């Protein structure tokens, strides 16, 4: 890479055009493809597999980072999807916002695409994923050294996920992909059925981000709460805790020592305590029979990363405990719970000067290897 990177957002989002799937999907699946509609309440929704998504307040506020920052709940409530921050829709506007915030590059994840995990039929799921990845490659094409696409993988079928990884890597030039932490086909991420996928990622030097999203897949604990905030608190962090348990305690890192995995969109303050708990059970191996050969924290420090939000008070402690080279950070731009502008400054002020560059940029480069 000829460009110098000092500030990298490891998890930003796009706002997909509502006709993405009609335009980019294989024509054989166009009639089934996700489509935009407005329900009887005036809420904007996407319709596919016989259901409305996201199923609560619609997609109108998906790009509401400005309205939320202005503490204007009525504006958020009444927003239209098309009124979202322009940098979610337009790569040129995104670059302007990166410049405004002093960010050199961003790795991009979906908004509506996060719901594709709700599809059960593998070939239809793969068609929707392929459409999204093709569109995302086009979105990033004008700025290949600043907008980095992260491929979606259809976990409904291991074979189709491998095929999509191969397409994303070899045809679209993508260097990383993401999966949700939730179960597909009643399988956890440490299920041996996924081993061929991890083996392919390791062979391709293809980084894997694990990224939750509210809606689409059933999330652990979310069924216990009616409040949307409570669901968000529970689903993101607890699903990621389970995913990291699968990846580390479940032996994925043991079996694939060169696989790189990041835990995203769930904060990071919980990770030191979670690794401590895993390590304690490993030390009592005569009681708990782990199928791994090293302490869980050693696997993490060898091949895992975790992303922090700019407001987390435990950031410096976690950097000391885990190593600054294992810490990512993210804006979540342009989502309403994201951070813009000012996220880089918020992160930097929580770190000692000697490790700032590692956390702000080097860790993302080491994980994603764009």
How confident is the model at residue 213, as a pLDDT?
A: 81
More confident residue, 195 or 285: 195
Which CATH entry fits the domain spanning 8-15+86-368: 3.20.20.140, 1.25.40.10, 2.60.40.1220, 3.40.50.2300? 3.20.20.140
19-68 pLDDT per residue, tens: 999 999 999 999 999 999 999 989 999 999 999 998 778 999 999 987 66
Q: Where in the chain are the domains?
A: 8-15+86-368
Is the pLDDT at 135 greater than 80? The verdict is: yes
Section 188-196 average pLDDT:
97
* Average pLDDT value for residue range 81-106: 97
- With CA atoms as reference, report the closest residue to 11 among 356, 350, 337, 349: 337
**What predicted TM-score, i.e. pTM, was given to this entire model?**
0.95
Average pLDDT, integer, range 329-350: 96
For the stretch 214-268, pLDDT in tens is 766 777 777 888 887 888 888 889 999 999 999 999 999 999 999 999 999 999 9
Helix axes 271-283, 228-248, angle to 10 degrees: 40
């Amino acid at each position: 890479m000829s460009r110098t990177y000092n500030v990298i957002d490891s998890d930003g989002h796009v706002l997909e055009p509502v006709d993405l799937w009609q335009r980019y999907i294989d024509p054989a699946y166009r009639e089934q493809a996700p489509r935009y509609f407005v329900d009887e309440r005036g809420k904007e929704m996407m319709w596919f597999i016989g259901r409305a998504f996201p199923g609560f307040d619609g997609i109108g506020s998906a790009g509401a980072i400005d309205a939320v920052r202005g503490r204007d709940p009525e504006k958020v409530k009444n927003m239209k999807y098309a009124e979202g921050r322009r940098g979610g829709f337009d790569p040129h506007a995104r670059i302007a916002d990166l410049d405004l915030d002093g960010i050199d590059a961003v790795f991009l994840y979906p908004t509506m695409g996060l719901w594709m995990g709700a599809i059960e039929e593998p070939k239809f799921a793969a068609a929707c994923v392929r459409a999204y990845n093709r569109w995302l490659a086009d979105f990033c094409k004008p700025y290949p050294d600043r907008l980095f696409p992260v491929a979606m993988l259809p976990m409904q079928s291991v074979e189709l996920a491998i095929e999509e990884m191969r397409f994303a890597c070899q045809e679209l030039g993508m260097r990383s992909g993401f999966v949700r932490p939730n179960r597909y086909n009643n399988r956890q991420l440490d299920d041996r059925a996924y081993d061929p996928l991890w083996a392919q990622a390791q062979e391709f030097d293809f980084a894997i981000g694990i990224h939750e999203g509210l809606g689409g897949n059933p999330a652990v604990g979310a069924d216990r709460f009616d409040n949307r905030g409570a669901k968000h608190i529970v689903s993101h962090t607890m699903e990621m805790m389970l995913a990291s348990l699968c990846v580390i305690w479940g032996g994925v890192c043991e079996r694939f020592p060169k696989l790189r995995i990041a835990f995203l969109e769930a904060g990071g303050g919980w990770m030191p305590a979670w690794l401590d708990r895993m390590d304690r059970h490993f030390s009592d191996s005569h009681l708990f029979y782990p199928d791994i050969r090293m302490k869980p924290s050693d696997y993490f420090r060898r091949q895992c990363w975790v992303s922090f939000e700019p407001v987390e008070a435990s950031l410096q402690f976690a950097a000391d405990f885990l190593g600054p080279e294992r810490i990512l950070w993210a804006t979540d731009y342009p989502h309403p719970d994201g951070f813009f502008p000012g996220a880089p400054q918020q992160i930097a002020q929580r770190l000692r000067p000697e490790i700032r560059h590692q956390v702000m940029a080097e860790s993302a480069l080491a994980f994603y290897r764009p």
